[in-house]
Amino acid sequence: MSELTATRTIVVTNESGIHARAATLVAELVRRFDSKVVLVKDRERVEGTDVLQILSLGAGRGNELSLEATGHDAERVLNALVQLFDENFSEEDGEVEDCEAENKQ
């Protein structure tokens, strides 16, 4: 029996792109599944469990990424990743500014 392979294309909409916290969230989410996940930007392919590799993509707002998964839960892991990206890594638009304003007080 061959392994299931699934692919999704997403556009990074987060204002800060994929920064350290976002890359960590991606890697942690991927590690919860059995499938192998690869993120692709242009021709660069990186492992979905490696925070530094994810950061090395330099994916900013508006960049298109392909998410590829291979394994029995490929569809599930990609659905979870798409949701994470759609929610902008649980960041609100003004969250950074709010934190900076609090630190100035």
Catalytic residue positions?
Answer: 19
Average pLDDT over residues 86-98: 64
86: domain CATH number?
A: 3.30.1340.10
Question: Residue 36 — pLDDT band, cuts 50, 70, 90?
Answer: very high
What domain range is 46 assigned to? Answer: 5-104
* Residues contacting residue 52 through CB under 8 Å, at least 6 positions apart: none
State residue 96's pLDDT score.
42
pTM to 2 decimals?
0.83
The total of structural domains in the chain comes to: 1
pLDDT reported for residue 103: 36
Question: CA of 26: how far to CAs of 36, 65, 103, in Å?
Answer: 13, 13, 28
